[in-house]
Each structure stands twice: as C-alpha cells, then as structure tokens.
Chain A
Amino acid sequence: MAMLRKDTHFEIHHLNEPKLLKVITLDEFIEQGLAVCAGSAEFGDLLLWLPNEERLRSPHLLSLPVGGFLIPEPLIGDFDSMRPHLHSPKDADVVQPGDVIAITPGNAMVRVLYRRGSDSNLLFMTDRCNSLCLMCSQPPKDIDDRWHIEENLRLIDLMDSDEENLGISGGEPTLYRDGLLEILAKCKAVLPQKSIHVLSNGRLFQDPSWIAALSAISHPQLSWGIPLYADNAEDHDHVVQAPGAFSETLQGLYNLARANQIIEIRVVLNRLTTPRLPELAHYVFRNLPFVRHVALMGIESTGLARKNYEELWIDPLDYQESLSQAVYFLFNRGVPVSIYNLPLCLIPAHLSRFARQSISDWKNLFIDTCQQCAAVKHCSGFFKSHTDRWQSRGVQLLSTEAFSAYARSAQ
C-alpha cells in the first residue's frame, strides 16, 4: 500500500469557471453514458479520459459534447478544441477514471474529491468546530464555509453508485445542521449502497430535535463516530478544551440512541487519556451499552498535537498494559473493539487481532524500518505527518518468525 496523494498539478486550458468533473473513459462513455454517475448529471459534468493515441487516431472525439478532456500524459501534437482540457500531470497516478475532481481557473492544482473504489472517500463539511481538542489534527478555522454543502451535494451526484464506505467529517459537521441533514438524505436516495460514517463530537445532539430529524431520514447504513476521552467531565473537558462538553456529548449520545443510530466511540490514545483507559472502557460498557464499536486510536502527530507535544506524548510501549486491560474488558463482554493507527511492532502479539489498517490510503506512510519488515502488508504503518519526535523506542522490523507469532496469536 503506497501513499497516494489527493491532489496534483496539471496544465489546464480554457477553464473559465470552477468545475466539479467526473473522469470517464471512452468505453464507459459509450456503454453507460450518464449512468456512470450515481445521481443526476449532464454531459457537461463529464471529463473524457483521452490518451494522445486515441485522440490522434480519432480526432472527431473532440466534438463529443462533454465538459472537457483529460490527457493523462504530456500532450503530443495540437489540441484542436476550445473546451477545457488538462494534460501533463505532475503525478500521473493521482487522477484515474471514475474519480471526481475539482478545478478552478488560474490554478494548476487538481483536487481529487472522490476516488473510485477507495474506502477513504470523504465529504468534508466545514473547517469550523465548537471544540478545540489538544490533539486536533485539523485545527478549526472561524470562517463561513457553507459552500462545502453545495459542493458535497454535487459530488454525491457524480460518485459511482458502488458499495463503498464514505466518510463525512470536518471540523464539526453538525454545525451546518440543515446542510448535513440534506446530505444524509441525499446519500440515502442517491448512494443507497454506500455505508456512511460521520465523525462528530456529538455535543449539538443534546438538542432533542435531532431525534426526529435523524429518525425521519432513517438511513440504514449510517453510523456515527463520537469521541469520548474520559469517564469524568473534568478530564474529558480538558482534552477537548470546552467546559460542559462531556455533559453535552453524553446527552447527545443518548439522543442518538433514541433515534436508533449506530454509534462508535473513538478514543485518541495519549498521555492524558491512557491512564484511565480501562476505567473509560468500563464507563462506556456500563453507561452506553448500545455502542456498537469502540476504536482506540494512536495519535496523529499533526495540527495542534505538535504544539501540545509535552502534554500529549507518551510512548505506546508505556501504555500497552492499560490498552490491553481496556481491550480485553470490552472484548470479553462482547463489545467489538479495534486498535487504530498503531504499528504492529508497538503492540503485544496478543493484541494484534484487534489492530486494523486504519490509516486512509492518501496519508498512509511506511518508514525506512518498515521496508524489510515481515508484517508490512498487515500493518497500519504511520501517518504521513510522522516525525522522529513522535516515534516510539519500540519501532522495529519484525522477522518472519516474530510475525508468525502475531499471526498465530490472531487465530
């Protein structure tokens, strides 16, 4: 698994306005036409994937009424059209047929908003947030960025209809309540095969009017990832830097349960959250028995986390026991539990069955040590933001023998 960026540069011509375009091959265009998009689309929304060879062989293709053309290589010969066209990608792997891209005039940057077949696609809702978590990987911005709602509604139309996981995230997506509800309803109508996972701090759900709103949508494959950082208000509120947040999130969780929503609890592992991790597992099981999954997640060393290094950093080797106590407490009581973002070399073999390859493909990194490691194909690896300062003293390559102990332990 190699990290695949979500943007690259092209040479872009004849683009007069910002566009969201669905990349489509000629074969797909002939066989499926607009049906390649899950929702409503026009020919002008399509960007025809047109290698030089095809264009030179059949120049009349340029008269197709599509929104533009993408030459996935350096341009050969003249391009005889006034319609938008892109060529000479800096990284030819980034944009592929089926993807949906965003381009703006005067900017060579091409952003991939939807990648065909990936389970890491995301509807990004906003940079705003009502919390200010000490380890936030994407520090919030106090701006009006409602335009994300329109872009996401458009993006949903242009996606493939296939079965994939789709995330919704921010910032705090519930801040744009009506926009979020509209997007969830549209996901249900246009992308019924995609399971939707929304990341939210859950605080605004303390308003019980969400219960009727979410029940009305009744999305069959919608789940919520809600963070809980402690079994008590003082510790949780400190981590999220918002007094009262613990009480609000708890009431929010009960309201989500009343709306029959599928709920996952997420805990970021750091110096503040690990000392009472077993007690937190106990608290979740006793008070939130409707929770379907608990994710215990290694920290992403970017954003505010870097600023708060002293307060947050703990070597994962130093919380192994706490992690193990929490994981087996939940597992033995039938609560599905996973460990995210921790490389296999940093967890004991007996916990490897709970470890997932959780890091999104576009920011997943394997460092030099990993290259000869027997476990590399099964390991979460690191975030692309990984630095030496955030590296455990336990990072090492596992020999084939060592890894087979992990594999045996996972059975």
Chain B
Amino acid sequence: MWDFAVTLIATDAKHYRLLPFRFMRMNTGHDRDILLTSDTGEYMHVNDAQLRALSYFDVQASTHFYKDLLARHFIYEPGRHDPFPEMAAQYRSRKDFLFQGPALHLFVVTLRCNHTCQYCQVSRAPLGGSGHDLSEADAQAAVDRLFESNAPALTVEFQGGEPLLAFERVRQIVEWVVDRNVVEQRDIQFVITTTLHHLTEEILDFAEQNRIQFSTSLDGPAPLHNANRPTPSRDSYERTVKGIQWVRERLGHDAVSALTTLTSRSLEQPEAIIDEYVNQSFSSISLRPLSPYGFATKSAHRLDYPIERYLAFYKKALAYLLHINQQGVYLSESYTSLLLKNILTPFSSGYVDLRSPAGAGTAALVYNYDGYVYPSDEARMLLEMGEDGLRLGTVQQPLSELLGSTVMNALLASGVAEALPGCSDCALVPYCGADPVEHYARQADPIGHRVFSSFCKKNMGLLKHIFGLLCDGDDNVQRVLLSWLNRRSYNDVRFPGYRG
C-alpha cells in the first residue's frame, strides 16, 4: 500500500494554496451564512469559522470540509493533483456561448401598432402611418447578415410595432430564409411577437407550413390587461385570448407563449396574474420588470416603480408559483429557470441579459425598420427616445463590420462583469451578467455605478432569494425548482437529491 504522507512537502507549513474565490454574507440568520463562490460557479455555504480557517490555512487535511474545498477548486495542493484541467473545462462550459456568433436576429418589420400602451417599450406609429416599415431591400440585406453569423441554430424573431400589420414582409423574409437554408442547413426557428389581434387563416396556414411560433403579451386578467394595453375598442384582452385559442387549435398547444409586462398596477396582484396564466394553461410565465426604455421613461412618474417594489412582488409571486406547482400545476417562471441553470449547472443559460461578456450584439442583433442595426432591442428603443448613440451601422454593411464597430467595442469594453467595478468582487458574478445598454440608458454610462444600478439590485435580489430557497427551502420547494431546471413534471422529480 502507498504511503502518501511522505510525499507532502514537509518544509511548507501551508499544505494548501488558495484558488480565486469570492464570498458574501447572505443575511439568512443561520450559521452557514457565507456564500463562497469560485470563478467558474462552484459554491458552498460556510460559517464564519470555516471562512476564517480557510483563509488562515488552518483547514485540517482529510476532513470532509477540506475535501469539499479541494473538489470544488477553492484550494489546491502544490505538487499534487493539478486542478487546472478541470477549472479550464468549467470555464469552457460556462462561457460556451462565446464559441458562436449572434443566434437571435430580430426583424422590426414595422413600427405601426393598434395599441397605445403608456409604457410601450419601443414607441410606435399610428396604424395608417407611412415610412415606418422595413423596406424590401433592407429586409433582403438583413437575411444576408443573418447567415453571416456562424451560429448553427438561428432564431428569426419578428417584432414591431405589430408585425402582423406588415405580414407580407414577414412572409417574404421567411421565404428567403427557407430558400437560403436549403444550402445553409442551419437549425432555424421563426417567432412572431404579436398581440394576435390581426391573425387570419392565411397567416395561420403560413405559420403551419413554416412551423412559426407565436409569442404574445398577456398582462393578467382582463381588467389589468386592458388597463395596461388600451385600444380604441377596449377589448385587447378578449382579442389576444381569442388569438391564443385560435393558434392552439390550428398549430398545437405549445405554438404560442406569452410574456407579462408588469406595471405599477400589476405589482398589487401577483396571484391574479398567475391565475390567469393557469387558466390559459401556459407552462411558463415571465415576470419581468418594466424596462427604462421607450415611452416608459417619459411617463416614469406614473408608471415606473422602485426595484424594491418589484422584488417584493417577485417573492410573493414565486411563493405562490411554488405552492401551485406542488398542487400539480406546471407553471415555471422563466427568469428564475434561467438563474437556476446558472446556479445549479456548470453551464450558462446563454440568455442575452445574463451574459458576460455582454450579449448585446454578440448574442443578438436587431434590424430596425429604418435599415439601421442595433445590438439589442433595448438599444433601438433608445433611438426612439432620441438617442442614436448605440447603432452599430446599417443593414447594408457586412456583419464583420457591424461587430467591429466603435459601439460594439465600447459595449464590450464595459461588458465583462468579472472586470466591472462593484461586480469584480461580488460573489454572485458567476451567475450574473453585464448589461452596458441598460446602464447607458439609466446612467448615461455603459459601465455605470452599481449602487444606482437597478440591473444590479434586481439580479442580486433574485439570486439571493433563490440561493436562500435552494439552501433552506423544504424538499417540495427543491422539487419544484428542479422540475423547472429540466422542464420535468413535479412528480417526476420525486426526491431533490444531494443539494450540493
């Protein structure tokens, strides 16, 4: 039998060395209140004495704690096992999205819309407005840009305004893409983001042929939805719900998903909003706070709310979701699912807003109706507010030129969370992202100050809350969260297993 003790370096009092890690007090009130995280997203909950022992090189070899620290790459033993291959593999998994170019391509086919929502994220033009549609020549160039990305899976998303008001252009673009793809052989998903008010049999036929998905907005029960989304006939809710049913009848239940916009009014009724999603038998709900864009900032005094109010709402909503999921309803909160993937797996969700380096431009491109290209939906909304600083160029320029633009350079220079002031020493940074566009919009500086950052407050608040549930939640809460992680039924996740 081998005697390993003799291989220890006897002259070195420190039998281990530290690897880069961060820590944070979680204020949970219990003993293991400190969250330790590694650069690559491994984590442990430890108590004060353990953190002290770790940093004073006082952890006894061969103890359970010592082996945990070794196995999760918080420490290593010089001259013995070299953990760098594992750490490299973890970096590679977590930043895997860097290996491919933009996968999400948003085509703003028109700015026209029949709604006059006060918070509208994108501004809008009246129904009969002219000069607010994407031209044929620009649409064709945008399809060229799409295929210049090396991403094997591409999402082509049509936005507005209300894209169904420019359906002929949508049809043209889909046909061009399908034709080109005979040679390109990418995995392509089409999505139309729409109120569904202008659906026709013809549109549904076309959607069926090309397996087009619909993404709609449903803000809650009729009174709330209609108050949020005014139309002249005051029946936005009724027409959207009718549209949802129609899509499902023709294309199947899962051909339509819905997003929620939360106004100040919405924050008072989390249960009612969730119940509406249960009644419409959706399997996911997206509880995102209002963005500081579009008209939202101009009418901020009426519509905006402090992020603390949103967080209180989120906690209530999540508690209710956890409750109903345990009763056998499957309804996941999509942002929570993304954060869970970041926390519980070695991978990143790859979600545009939760990437570091930032996803704007590297993950998504927006082809605006006016022929200009933007790094994100939010960046083009700034334009409608009167800011034109964040455009990458025109759709007639090749992708390499757009991605090499000054704006992209500026965004990426302030888009690596691990290197941003306030983020670089935050224990939650492995699970978070960088959003230079939002910081530019809110603070007129793409780096921004974390203390005044609602992006930071939101993600810190959510991540801390989720870590709390993962650490302290009972088995059934764990089961619901794990069921969201891999979209399995609650009953299929019979036991939570090791909590890590």
Residues of A within 8 A of B (CB): 231-235, 237-238, 241-243, 246-247, 250-251, 254, 276, 278-279, 281-283, 285-289, 324-334, 350
Chain A residues near B71 (CB, 8 Å)?
231-232, 279, 282-283
27 contacts between A and B (CB under 8 A): A232-B67, A234-B67, A235-B67, A237-B2, A242-B2, A246-B81, A250-B81, A251-B85, A254-B85, A276-B64, A276-B67, A278-B498, A281-B498, A282-B498, A286-B90, A287-B346, A289-B93, A289-B346, A325-B498, A327-B497, A328-B496, A329-B498, A330-B497, A331-B497, A332-B493, A332-B497, A333-B344
In the complex, chain A residues whose CB is within 8 Å of the CB of B488 = 332
Evaluate whether A233 and B495 lie within 8 angstroms (CB atoms) in the complex, with A282-B500, A283-B71, A286-B42 already known. Answer: no
> In the assembled complex, which residues on chain B have CB atoms less than 8 Å from the CB atom of A330?
497
Q: Are B89 and A254 in contact (CB under 8 A)?
A: yes
Q: Does B120 contact A (CB under 8 A)?
A: no
Q: Whole-angstrom distance between the alpha carbons of A287 and B72 in the complex?
A: 9
Instruction: Decide: B346 and A334 in contact? CB cutoff 8 A.
Output: no
Q: How far is the CB of A222 from chain B (nearest CB, A)?
A: 22
**How far, in angstroms, from A234 to B485 measured CA to CA in the complex?**
33
What CA separation (Å) do A243 and B3 show in the bound complex? 9
With contact pairs A243-B2, A334-B486 given, residues A232 and B81 touching in the complex (Cβ less than 8 Å): yes
Residue numbers in B under 8 Å from A285 (CB-CB): 345-346
Inter-chain CA distance A246–B344, complex, in Å, is: 25
A330 to chain B, nearest CB (A): 8
Enumerate chain A residues within 8 angstroms of B72, measured Cβ to Cβ: 286
Q: Which 3 A-B pairs have the closest CB atoms?
A: A328-B497, A278-B498, A233-B81
- CB of B86 within 8 A of CB of A333, answer no
What A residues does B185 contact at CB under 8 A?
Answer: none
Report the Cα distance A331→B483, complex, angstroms: 11
Task: List residues of chain B with CB within 8 A of the CB of A287.
Answer: 86, 89-90, 346
When distances are taken between beta carbons in the complex, the residues of chain B under 8 Å from A282 are: 71, 498, 500
CA of A350 to CA of B82, assembled, Å: 38
Give the complex CA separation of A276 and B494 in angstroms. 22
Query: Do A238 and B486 form a contact, CB below 8 Å, given A251-B85, A281-B498, A289-B346?
Result: no
Task: Report whether B2 and A326 are in contact in the complex, using a CB–CB cutoff of 8 Å.
Answer: no
CB distance from B444 to the nearest CB of A (A): 40
By beta carbon, the residue of chain A nearest B487 is A334
Contacts of B2 in A (CB 8 A): 237-238, 241-243
Given contacts A278-B497, A279-B67, A328-B496, 7 further A-B contacts (CB under 8 A): A238-B2, A241-B1, A250-B86, A285-B345, A289-B346, A328-B494, A333-B345
Contacts of A325 in B (CB 8 A): 497-498
Q: How far is the CA of A283 from the CA of B89 in the complex (A)?
A: 12
Name the distance in Å between B148's Cβ and chain A's nearest Cβ.
Answer: 27
Q: Nearest chain-A residue to B483 (Cβ)?
A: A332
Chain A CB within 10 Å, residue with most, of B42, B82, B347, B494: B494
**CB-defined contacts of A281 to chain B, threshold 8 Å:** 498
What residues on A are CB-neighbors of B497 within 8 Å? 278, 324-332
User: In the complex, what's the smallest C-beta–C-beta distance from B290 to chain A, in angstroms?
Assistant: 34
Complex Cα distance, B497 from A74, in Å, reads 59
Given A233-B81, A243-B2: A286 in contact with B495 (beta carbons within 8 A): no
- The proximity string for B residues 427-455 relative to A, scoring 1 for CB distances below 8 Å and 0 otherwise, is 00000000000000000000000000000
Closest to B486 in A: A334
Minimum Cβ distance to chain A for residue B486 (Å)? 5
Interface string of B66-79 (1 = CB under 8 A from A): 01101110000000
Contact A286-B85, Cβ < 8 Å, known A324-B497, A325-B497, A350-B495: no
* A283 nearest CB across to chain B (Å): 5
With a cutoff of 8 Å between Cβ atoms, the chain A residues found around residue B4 in the complex are 234, 237-238, 243
Is B30 an interface residue, CB under 8 A from the partner? no
CA–CA, A251 and B88, complex, Å: 11
Q: Which residue of A lies closest to B81 (CB)?
A: A233
Closest to B481 in A: A332
Of B1, B67, B495, which one neighbours A231 at CB under 8 angstroms? B67
Residues of B within 8 Å of A233, CB to CB, are: 80-81
The answer to whether the Cβ of B482 comes within 8 Å of any Cβ in the partner chain is yes
Bound-state Cα–Cα, A86 to B287, Å = 78
Q: B81 touching A333 by the CB < 8 A rule?
A: no
State the CA gap A250–B496 with chains docked (Å): 28
A247 touches B81 (CB 8 A): yes
A166 to chain B minimum Cβ distance, whole angstroms, is: 30
Contact, CB under 8 Å: A286 / B346: yes
A326 to B70, CA, bound (A): 19
The answer to the question of B233 belonging to the interface, with a C-beta cut-off of 8 Å to chain A, is: no
Q: Is B62 an interface position by the 8 A CB rule?
A: yes
CA distance A329 to B386 in the complex (A): 51
- Give the distance to chain A from B441, nearest Cβ to Cβ, in Å: 36
Q: Is there contact, CB below 8 Å, between B500 and A234?
A: no
Asked if B7 CB lies within 8 Å of chain A CBs, one says: yes
Cα of A330 to Cα of B482 in the assembled complex, Å: 11
A234 and chain B: residue at smallest CB distance? B4
Contact digits for B1-21, partner A, Cβ 8 Å, 1 yes 0 no:
110100100000000000000
Determine the chain B residues whose CB is within 8 A of the CB of A350 once the complex forms: 494-495
Residues of A within 8 A of B70 (CB): 231-232
B432, chain A: closest CB distance, angstroms: 19
Least CB separation from B344: chain A residue:
A333
CA distance A237 to B4 in the complex (A): 9
For A242, what are the chain B residues with a Cβ–Cβ distance below 8 Å?
A: 2
Q: How far is the CA of A328 from the CA of B498 in the complex (A)?
A: 7
Task: Say which residue of B42, B85, B90, B482 sits within 8 Å of A332 (CB atoms).
Answer: B482
B64 contacts which chain A residues (CB < 8 A)?
276
**Shortest Cβ distance from residue B350 to the other chain A in the assembled complex, whole angstroms:** 14
Smallest beta-carbon distance A95→chain B, Å: 43
For chain B, residues 453 to 498, give those with C-beta under 8 angstroms from any C-beta of chain A: 482, 485-486, 488, 493-498
Nearest residue in A to B479 (C-beta to C-beta)? A332
Residues from chain B with a CB closer than 8 A to the CB of A333 are 344-345, 485-486
Q: Are B346 and A329 in contact (CB under 8 A)?
A: no
Q: B500, A332: Cβ atoms under 8 Å?
A: no
B74 to chain A, nearest CB (A): 12
Chain A residues with CB under 8 A of B68: 279
A288 to B345, CA, bound (A): 11
Write the nearest CB–CB distance from A209 to chain B, whole angstroms: 17
- Inter-subunit contact B482/A234 (CB<8 Å): no
